[in-house]
Every structure is written in structure tokens, then in C-alpha cells.
Structure 1
């Protein structure tokens, strides 16, 4: 398999950097091939070649935005879960990404293309937490029968409900409480069950 053309990689990265800036400044409504072309200096033809549909551009931009904020797990279950959920908290409190999530959830219900984007973003956004949980199961820090999809719901669900449904802000103490409550229920480590750092 041939490596990607460096010029294409540079164009893609330049365009995504501009698209991310536009996302932060203007939200999803400002994220179009035309605005990205004007902002980045990359031609529309190149942008359409890279992302033929508007939904493709949205997915690439939001996925890149998530990837830039993605932490590297350390092997410390509590610390890694706290860091992963702190990233989710940050995105829920950043105006552009919060607005993007709200718009995506609303439009995905009626737009199959955006429904695919929403599913891809869910996979990207939970990839690190899923790996943290799977690794902890492999280390026997969490039970072998743990339902990882349910665990992700238990960890992320309260954050999304509080911010997107209840319209309330929350701090890192709330994130830590969610992680500690989860570990008290599921951890095989006595210190985690007792909530001791």
C-alpha cells in the first residue's frame, strides 16, 4: 500500500485546523466547504475531494477535535477514568462543541447522514474510556463479566444528562464523584471500593 501523498496530508491538516477554528468561532452552521476554503486557502476542489459531502467534513472536523483532546492512558484505573471524563466535561462546557452536540443530536433524528456522523463521533469519543475499561478487565481490576457498553453509559450518562438535558454546569468534583461511585460498584480492588486515593 502506497503511503499518502505528503501534499495531501498537509492540505488535509491545514483544512482541519481551519475547520476546527471555524467550529469554535461559529459552530456547526459556519462549517462549510466554502468557509473552510476561504479560511484555510485550500481550494474547494481539494476539500470536496477529501470530503465529498458536508457531513463528511463535519465528521472529520469533530473527530479531529476529539482526537486532539484524547488523553493517553497510564494504567491507573481511577486516574485514567477521571482524565477521560474530564475531557468529556471540557467538551460539554466548550460553547462550540456543546452546540455541535446539541445540533447533531437534533438533526441526526431526521438526517441519515448525520445519524452516521453521530454514531462515528460516539465511537471516537468513547474509544479511550472503552480501552481503559477493557484493560482494567484484563488486569482483573474490574470483573470479567463487566458490560463495557453499560459501563460507558454509567460513566458518561450523568455528564450528558446534567449538561444537555438539565442545562446545568458541573465541575471536576462531580466528575470524580461519578468515577468513584462507579468504582465502588464494580472495582475488584478494595481501595477503589472504599473510595481511597
Structure 2
């Protein structure tokens, strides 16, 4: 028998259930404890798993924090398409729905609040933004268009600001206006 650590097999239903349970517990704890307080010891105890199990799934806290936010509530995911306006609109609607979950929104706030002081939170936030940018570009592939990180920020920032900073509702009309401005031309 080898001494190297084995990574969990994601196709195993038991592994998937454990992972989902741990992420659900972490999502509940993060708003209460903050990223620094969400230790593997606390999470293992509350999720009724061993710390070894946590390290197998998430070798670093940055991995845990980013997966926690990337695997948020199931709110529907946009389909790839050749119409950039439609893809961008559906992307922002999906973003609005994901952050409509109070626990996810609180987790995002907690991670953002710690980025200046906690390297794991800063790394997690960077990973999340890069992942979402790449995912959006994947949806745009049928259109033949790919966007830069700056363009992605210009598209998503108004919605994120309204939801996370102002605390205002993001209406369909607001999303339509953001996409129109982002495209630089009305259709």
C-alpha cells in the first residue's frame, strides 16, 4: 500500500454527499464566524467529519472558501450561445439569483472583508473571479467573442455593487441597462 494521500473520487455518491454536507455547514457558519473563525477544527466538529476528510477535499482553506462560494445555491445556469446580449443578460440574472441567497451573500461579504488580512480569503476571491470570468468566456464561445478581465469587471461590477454594497434590488430593467451600456450600443 502506498503512503501518498489519495484524493477523494468525486464520482462516488458518498463522497459527493459528504462534500455537499460540509459545504452546507460551512455556508451556514461563515456569516457567523467569518473566514478566520471557520477553522477546520470547528467545521469538522459541526459537519461531523474528521479534519483529515476536510484536508482530503480541500488541502487549503483557500480551496474551501472558493469552493464554498463557487458551489453556491442551484439557481440555474446560463447556456452557451451565439448572441452576446442574451448570454450576458442570462449571466447577470444567474449572478443576481445566486447572491439572492442570504447565506451566499453573507459568505461573500465575509470573504471580501478578510482579503486585506487573510491570505486564504484573498486567494479564494482571486480564484472565484478568475473562475467566473473563464466560465463566462466558455458561454460566449459560440459567439466567437472572448472578453478580457477588464471587460468582465465592467459587466458584473454594477450588479455586484448594487447587491453587495447598496443592498438594492437588481431588476430585469437594471440588468438590461447594464448589458446595453456594456455592449456600447442599443439593439
Shorter-chain TM-score range: 0.7 to 0.9
**Structure 1, gaps ≥5 residues long:** 140-145, 186-192
Q: Tell me which of the two structures has the higher relative contact order, counting C-alpha pairs closer than 8 angstroms and 6 or more residues apart.
A: 2
Where do residues 51-62 of structure 1 align in structure 2 (5 Å cutoff)?
51-62=58-69
Q: Is the 8 A contact 2:75 2:94 kept in 1?
A: no
Structure 2 residue corresponding to 1:117, chosen from 105, 119, 124:
124
Q: TM-score scaled to structure 2, two decimals? A: 0.75
**SS of 1:182's equivalent?**
helix
Change (3 A) 1:134 1:7: closer
Other-structure match for 2:22: 19
Structure 1 residues 79-133: Cα deviation after superposition (integer angstroms, max 9, x where no partner): 2111111111122322111111111111011111211111001112222323345
* Equivalent residues in 2 for 1:141-156, closer than 5 Å: 148-156=148-156
- Find the residue that maps to 2:80 and give its secondary structure: coil
Deviation at 1:65, TM superposition (A): 2.6
Q: Are the aligned partners of 2:76 and 2:94 in contact in 1 as well (CA < 8 Å)?
A: yes
Cα shift at 1:172: 2.2
Give the TM-score normalised by structure 1: 0.72
Alignment match, 1:157: 157
Q: Which runs of 5+ in 2 are unaligned?
A: 1-6
2:114 matched to which residue of 1?
107
